[in-house]
Structure 1
Amino acid sequence: MRADEIRDAASQPRSPERSPRKSRGYKMRDAACKQFAGGRRALSVRSPHRPDTEHLRLLRLPFPIRLLLASCLLISCLSPSPTRSQVPPPAPPQNRPVALVGGTIHPMTGPVIERGVLVFDKGKITAVGPDVPVPPDAEVIDIRGQHVYPGLIDANSIIGLTEIDSIRATRDFAEVGDVNPNVRAEVAVNPDSEIIAVTRANGVLVALAVPRGGVIAGQSAAIVLDGWTWESMTLKAPVGLHVYWPRMTPVRAFFVFVSEEEQRRRAEEALRKLKEAFREARAYWTAKKAEGGHPGTPYHDVDVRWEAMVPVLEGKLPVFVHADTLDQIQAAVAWAEAEKVRIVLVGGADAPMAADLLRQKDVPVITGPILELPTREWEPYDAAFTLPARLAQAGIRYCIGGDGGAWNERNLPYHAAMATAYGLPRDEALKAITISCARILGIDDRVGSLEVGKDATLLVATGDPLDIRTQVTRAFIQGRPVNLYNRHQRLYEKYREKYRQAGAR
């Protein structure tokens, strides 16, 4: 049969008796397609009687655009209303002196002052003592029966770098890759975070925003918990370079699915990357110093990664090494001595076991959470509770850090309180979250104690901040009054009203 005959045969209509039987579903789909086609034709001629096909326009969009629109709709539905999730706005800069009169002042670097007076102006403390003259134009605040403390300092947190763990877009504390010394934590801080308002309501007014992830995570920044932008919140940046030391001993547990050989290989690879990064940075530093020193010396291109490590190699910035076990601590101290860099231990669960080494090398420790269970079967139940007291007895410089997160950093004073119940004197516990912390972070010239010339970053409370019953009634950051209203208080008022209405029925 020729090709033209085949085409003629195919074009002939099939006889009714040979027509395939159509199912009901097929007929319904066929009718819908005809209606849709008719709607398109009617739309093209602008017929007033065209079928209703407006609802199909979204389906004709490309799939990525449809996915984006659906995501935006979901987020808008799940997000709380703006009127209820808005963080209180920061106060303007201080424009007149303020005098806190009649309260008990706890300077942290001197004896307690009963019925004292504290005066601050333009964000700085100008006078503190029992008999201090009050400027005639000052705003006088009577705080009789209350106590004044410097703002508490959280030395290990991701406050401002995260909001909701289940939403990736709000988590900005880790970058891709294992070596990121150029990462700056302060530029990622979200001033409108609900966590900031919740944390400062309990007296924590200064925090160290710490990057996470990889071997060299980046540079941390000390921030105050009030401000319009990250620039206005930054107290000091950078504070130090953060290195996460790999585990030296394989973990054997039912929840670990990686073989011991693979764990050792990963640890060796992490250490290789760390040493290689410092070797590259030192070579870069040497090349940069040689620029222009001799005729014909070529100029070296700027590498932001190694440029960020130059202050560390010069001894201007410390390296914060996150390590807990004894073998990690010993390896980190030996590495620091070989690289000729200053280090600060973060975590340090086994630091008392290396007390002689840490004391000899003058390595301070920022403890991990005190409200913590033992990590080994053979450890006593109070291993974490007694850690600050054991560090103090060993003569090691230390401060108490929070749990390293964000939402629970408001509980920082209660970590110190638990340490007082297990051997740490109360005044030492208060120093561990104020002046001792400020000294280790290198911000003691600004915060940590109530002294003339320092920032007026302080809190007024009904009692001891370590007592869970104490209420913070006022707070000032660099002389600005801080609005203590927060999400926790809003929810408390909401559900109190619920039960008030239920009781009225």
Structure 2
Amino acid sequence: MKNRITLFLFTLLLGISMSSYSQVAVQADTIYTMDGDKIIDGIVLVKGEKIEAIGPATDVQVPSDYQMHKTSVVTPGFIDAHTVVGLAGIFNQDSDQDQLETSSAIQPHLRAFDAYNAREELVKFVLDKGVTTVHTGHGPGALASGQTMIAKTAYNTVKKAVLDSKTTVSFTLGSTVERYFDKPGTRAKGVAMLRQQFIDAQEYLDKRNSDENHSTDLKMEALADVLSGELTAMITAHRANDIMTALRLKEEFGFNMILDGASEAYLVVDEIKDAGIPVFIHPTMTRTYGDAQNASFTTASKLAEAEIPFAFQSGFESYVPKTRIILYEAAVATAYGLDREEALKALTKQPAQLLGISDKVGSLATGKDADLVLFDGDPLEYTTHIKSVIVDGKVVKK
């Protein structure tokens, strides 16, 4: 009896192990590889977690033992360039809201990795909408709210999900900070507070580089990593004057920067381009109030016209279900002048490049992670449905 149980458990474990190595073939009328021209009547072969081959159906032979999926359109898995999913929960209760710590306005040492809930229902919600990777973490509202991370949405533990545990430090400039904190009371005070922290971090960085026995300060460690280039500063700024302030801070302290939100970017396009700064653009349909009151439907097309790299984000919403869907935001941007393939690029290849993960995701090419979204029509049409989502070679929605 004992031997039978042992054999059963071994067989079960073997089956689980074998099932983790998928052999899938996807045939589509159109494949947007985002790594060159789209493929008409194409095939993607997936073996294990990676793309084994991709090309026209006439050039790619499908092995008989591969599971076949036929569809109209295939794209890479979508990458949400900035969200709080996994820290903000779907029910909008105090118990599932970890995206903003309000005990202090400057807390760059807080790590999203320590709060991310891979089992949060909101994570599955965006996965079903084709979002296979999220850049998530502490949200806007504090001068420095914490560190962000990158995770895949198909896994139920942070250890399995994480692609990068420390990606950026999230900063905010503007009146949003006043909603949550008594200090700073004005924009000038807030910038002065940040400037002093960076000056202190410069001194800390010098000590860290020269003295192996220096005492560790977690807050200073995070800011020193920004100054040394190990972390990027993601600065949320909507009004033109706040955007210009962010650019001045970047020039003064020499850190790498991504501009986030940027509702009035269209007023300072030349300045953003001259600074060489990419943008995580506000959701196209963002509610126009507060610092975002002058947001425009055409900003994405204007950034594209100016050849400023940008990517779509869902951002942060204070109402249930707590998140937007980047595919819908991109679709509306195309209705206001953005080229359709540029929109798909800003959902896939562009965020992957800006986040430093383009060797794994963001486009469909041999050897890359097998993250695919299968559609029954044009991805940017409202009436189109997602048929399947594949992450690391596994069909996670069908």
Shorter-normalised TM range: 0.7 to 0.9
Task: Please say if residues 93 and 123 of structure 1, whose CA atoms lie closer than 8 Å, have aligned partners that are also in contact.
Answer: no
Q: Which amino acid aligns with 1:169?
A: S
Map 1:149-164 onto structure 2 (within 5 A).
149-164=75-90
Structure 1 match to 2:6: none
Output the CA distance in 2 between the equivalents of 1:105 and 1:146.
9
Map 1:256-275 onto structure 2 (within 5 A).
265-275=185-195
CA deviation string 1:6-34 (max 9, x = no partner): xxxxxxxxxxxxxxxxxxxxxxxxxxxxx
Structure 1 match to 2:313: 401
Q: CA deviation at 1:475?
A: 0.9
Structure 1 match to 2:144: 216
Structure 1 match to 2:296: 384
Output the CA distance in 2 between the equivalents of 1:234 and 1:243.
22
Show structure 2 runs of 5+ residues with no match. Answer: 1-15
Alignment equivalent of 1:125, drawn from 39, 51, 56: 51
CA deviation string 1:41-64 (max 9, x = no partner): xxxxxxxxxxxxxxxxxxxxxxxx
Q: Max radius of gyration: which structure?
A: 1
Q: Does 1:177 align with 2:89?
A: no
Q: Which amino acid aligns with 1:200?
A: L
Aligned CA distance change for structure 1 residues 214 and 240 (closer, same or farther; 3 Å): same
Matched residue SS, 1:146: strand
Show structure 1 runs of 5+ residues with no match. Answer: 1-89, 293-298, 485-505
Output the CA distance in 1 between the equivalents of 2:184 and 2:322.
33
Q: CA deviation at 1:413?
A: 1.1
Alignment equivalent of 1:471, drawn from 379, 385, 391: 385
Q: Which amino acid aligns with 1:287?
A: K
Q: Does 1:196 align with 2:108?
A: no
Structure 2 match to 1:326: 240
Matched residue SS, 2:74: strand
Output the CA distance in 1 between the equivalents of 2:311 and 2:234.
13
Map 1:90-489 onto structure 2 (within 5 A).
94-130=20-56, 131-134=58-61, 136=63, 138-143=65-70, 145-164=71-90, 166-175=92-101, 176-212=103-139, 213-247=141-175, 265-291=185-211, 299-372=213-286, 374-375=288-289, 384-405=296-317, 407=321, 409=323, 411-483=325-397
Q: CA deviation at 1:264?
A: 7.9
Q: CA deviation at 1:385?
A: 1.0
Structure 2 match to 1:54: none
- Please identify which structure carries the higher strand content: 2
Output the CA distance in 2 between the equivalents of 1:173 and 1:104.
38
Output the CA distance in 1 between the equivalents of 2:99 and 2:371.
26
Output the CA distance in 1 between the equivalents of 2:17 and 2:236.
36
Q: CA deviation at 1:223?
A: 1.1
CA deviation string 1:296-354 (max 9, x = no partner): xxx21111222223332122322100001111011110111000111111111111221
Aligned CA distance change for structure 1 residues 198 and 164 (closer, same or farther; 3 Å): closer
Which stretch has the larger CA shift, 403-412 or 181-190? 403-412
Output the CA distance in 1 between the equivalents of 2:122 and 2:82.
15
Q: CA deviation at 1:234?
A: 0.9
Which structure ranks higher in relative contact order (CA pairs < 8 Å, sequence separation ≥ 6)?
2
Output the CA distance in 2 between the equivalents of 1:154 and 1:109.
19
Q: Which amino acid aligns with 1:219?
A: Q
Q: CA deviation at 1:373?
A: 5.0
Aligned CA distance change for structure 1 residues 403 and 180 (closer, same or farther; 3 Å): closer
Output the CA distance in 1 between the equivalents of 2:341 and 2:275.
26
Output the CA distance in 2 between the equivalents of 1:96 and 1:265.
56
Output the CA distance in 1 between the equivalents of 2:19 and 2:106.
39
Q: Which amino acid aligns with 1:221?
A: M
Aligned CA distance change for structure 1 residues 472 and 385 (closer, same or farther; 3 Å): same
- Please identify which structure carries the higher helix content: 1
Output the CA distance in 2 between the equivalents of 1:453 and 1:95.
15
Output the CA distance in 1 between the equivalents of 2:145 and 2:218.
14
Which stretch has the larger CA shift, 302-311 or 122-131? 302-311
Output the CA distance in 2 between the equivalents of 1:263 and 1:357.
29
Task: Please say if residues 218 and 242 of structure 1, whose CA atoms lie closer than 8 Å, have aligned partners that are also in contact.
Answer: yes
Output the CA distance in 1 between the equivalents of 2:330 and 2:290.
23
Aligned CA distance change for structure 1 residues 242 and 166 (closer, same or farther; 3 Å): closer
Q: Which amino acid aligns with 1:241?
A: V
Task: Please say if residues 94 and 121 of structure 1, whose CA atoms lie closer than 8 Å, have aligned partners that are also in contact.
Answer: no
Task: Please say if residues 376 and 387 of structure 2, whose CA atoms lie closer than 8 Å, have aligned partners that are also in contact.
Answer: yes
Structure 2 match to 1:34: none
Output the CA distance in 1 between the equivalents of 2:384 and 2:290.
34
Output the CA distance in 2 between the equivalents of 1:481 and 1:404.
28
Q: Which amino acid aligns with 2:104?
A: G
Output the CA distance in 2 between the equivalents of 1:468 and 1:210.
29
Q: CA deviation at 1:411?
A: 2.7
Q: CA deviation at 1:93?
A: 6.8
Matched residue SS, 1:453: coil
Output the CA distance in 2 between the equivalents of 1:218 and 1:270.
16
Computed over aligned residues only, the root mean square deviation of the Cα atoms, in angstroms, reads: 2.8
Give TM-score scaled by structure 1 length: 0.69
Q: CA deviation at 1:96?
A: 3.8
Matched residue SS, 2:129: coil
